[in-house]
Amino acid sequence: MANTKIEQRYIDEHPESMSRYHTSKNLFPNGVTHDARRLSPFPMYVTHAKGSHKWDVEGNKIIDYKTGHGAMILGHSHPSIVKAVQDAVAEGTQMGCSTDKEIRWGQLVNELVPCAEKVRFQSSGTEAVMMAMRLARAYTGKTKVIKFDDHFHGWSDYATAGGSGLGGIPKETLETMIVLPPNDIGLVEKAIKETNDVASVMIEPTGSHMGLHPIPTSFLHELRELTERTGTLFHMDEVVTGFRLSKGGASRKFEVTPDITTLAKILGGGLPGGAVAGKADIINLIEFKDDASYNHNERVGHPGTFNANPISAAAGTAALELVRDTDVNAKTEAAGGKLKAGLNELLGKMEIPGQVTGHGPLLFVRLGVDFDVEDDGATFELTDSEWSKVNDGHRNSQLHLALINEGIDPMSNGTRLIIGQDHSDQDIENTVSAYEKALSSVRESGLI
């Protein structure tokens, strides 16, 4: 099949990326090291990043809305983070002992996160969710975990239930997970009461994939009441929303305190880091007791070479201090509001059906359908046929390439934007202009 004009421009303007792809495709599956970095005809390769920008191997300056998959709320190469990491590296990268750095990091989590009576660090969000599910099962003595359709909680065997890429997962493992549609508290209550074997209910607090399919805040409050009433643990997965929607994440913003939460991304200040935080009696299941039988059969074991490693601890501490002490959240909220308003005005001007929605700095460009949004700016309802129009894969993939051609790197095929504190008014103006050019190119292709 012949290349589209958008694809051909991308190919012509990215010869160095194409060259690297020809090497990497023989090294890595699909030539990439993360499923979300796949891009047809080939991925973009970058050399460095600063603030709200990064530079590809061709030397093009790009406004970045991936922001490190959501980790870089402070901007790339923030001087405080750089200094903290440089100082920590000089002191030693892995000493195999406890450090002052991990104490300070944990204290900040305890201070900022509403449910964080105790904390345990891991190396990623996936690991944190694995630990949270295991703790919930150990605490309740029950085996099943409820999750919701298309909610993303990492790539572990349990968390992948209800999604795709299920190769190699035993059906017995998947059968311990109950996958339900969101927003129906009656279904959740029915599952809890009928099975009498539910350890926890796990949810992304803004809806699946950072809010791609949003949920109303009222559903979080309903879940909190139901789980308290039935003795089920409530797990809010804040790997993305933690320290982003407020200093204390979605929990503080929406005034819902779970029993246990999972954190990563911003937690590590741009370095690998994850954490489970929650009520002390839950997290304390990791503790040893003077009881050999308990330690062997009931305690939740948790080794890990890089748990709370000093480099991540230094970066994470610097990042969380900035979240706590500066107006990071206010800046990202304001920038997100300006970009949302500018893009919605553009869609109206271009007479393109659709709307940009989302909580604060997590924005979604929904094309193909006109619809009403609740006062929170994020919640709405669509029919299955309307969702099909919004999720038009070919149109959205062409939009993604067209945006890169115009100097913008979005998440998820041009339809998701993660805002950082360094996205300036000029960046926003340039982004709206880039979307106008990219949408015009997509329209010329007959896809809008």
Residue after which a domain boundary falls, among 325, 340, 369: 325
Question: Are 338 and 207 members of one domain?
Answer: no
Q: How many domains does the chain fold into?
A: 2
Q: Identify whether residues 134 and 72 lie together within a single domain.
A: no
Q: How far apart are the first and last CA of the chain?
A: 21
Same domain, 71 and 167: no
252 and 214 housed in the same domain: yes
Query: What 3-state class would DSSP assign to 142?
Result: coil
Which residue from 314, 396, 264, 279 is spatially nearest to 104, judged by alpha carbons? 314
Identify the pLDDT of residue 354.
97
Residues 54 and 165 in one domain: no
Q: Can you list the alpha helix ranges (DSSP code H) found in 147-278? A: 171-174, 185-195, 208-211, 217-230, 249-254
Residues 21 and 105 in one domain: no
pLDDT at position 1:
78
**237 and 152 in a common domain:** yes
Residue 162 has which token pair? 């209800």
In degrees, to the nearest 5, what angle opens at C-alpha 141 toward C-alphas 136 and 142? 75
Q: Residue-wise over 333-357: b if at least 16 C-beta within 10 A, else e?
A: bbbbbbbbebbbebbeeeebebbbb
14 and 95, same structural domain?
Answer: no
Structure confidence by residue, pLDDT tens digits, 89-146: 999 999 999 999 999 999 999 999 999 999 999 999 999 999 999 999 999 999 999 9
Pairing of strands 144-148, 198-203: parallel
My answer on whether 66 and 131 are in the same domain is no
- Is residue 182's pLDDT more than 90? yes
Question: What average pLDDT does range 393-421 have in this prediction?
Answer: 95
Q: Count CB-CB contacts under 10 A for residue 261.
A: 30
Taking only the tens place, the pLDDT of each residue in 279-315 is 999 999 999 999 999 999 999 999 999 999 999 999 9
Q: Is the pLDDT of residue 417 over 90?
A: yes
Write the CB contacts of 365 (distance below 8 Å, at least 6 apart in sequence).
343, 354, 356, 414, 415, 416, 417, 435
User: Residue 413 has what pLDDT?
Assistant: 84
pLDDT higher than threshold 90 for residue 196? yes
Q: What is the CATH number of the domain that holds 14?
A: 3.90.1150.10
Domain boundary among 298, 325, 352: 325
pLDDT range class, residue 444, cuts 50, 70, 90: very high
| CATH number (domain holding residue 289) | 3.40.640.10
165: Cα within 13 Å, side-chain hemisphere: 10
What pLDDT does residue 103 have? 98
Rounded-to-integer distance, Cα 116 and Cα 118, Å: 5
**Residue in the block written with tokens 């030397």:** 59
Question: Does residue 41 have a cis bond before it (omega within 30 degrees)?
Answer: yes
Percent of the chain having pLDDT more than 70? 100
Are 258 and 319 part of one and the same domain?
Answer: yes
Question: pLDDT band for position 446 (50/70/90)?
Answer: very high
Do 317 and 378 lie in one domain? The reply is: no
Boundary residue ending a domain (307, 325, 343): 325
pLDDT, position 414 = 84
Q: What is the mean pLDDT of residues 424-447?
A: 97
Given a cut of 90, whether residue 50 has pLDDT beyond it is: yes
Q: Which residue intervals of 170-270 are DSSP H helices?
A: 171-174, 185-195, 208-211, 217-230, 249-254
Q: What is the per-residue pLDDT for 83?
A: 98
Residue 342's domain comprises: 5-76+328-444
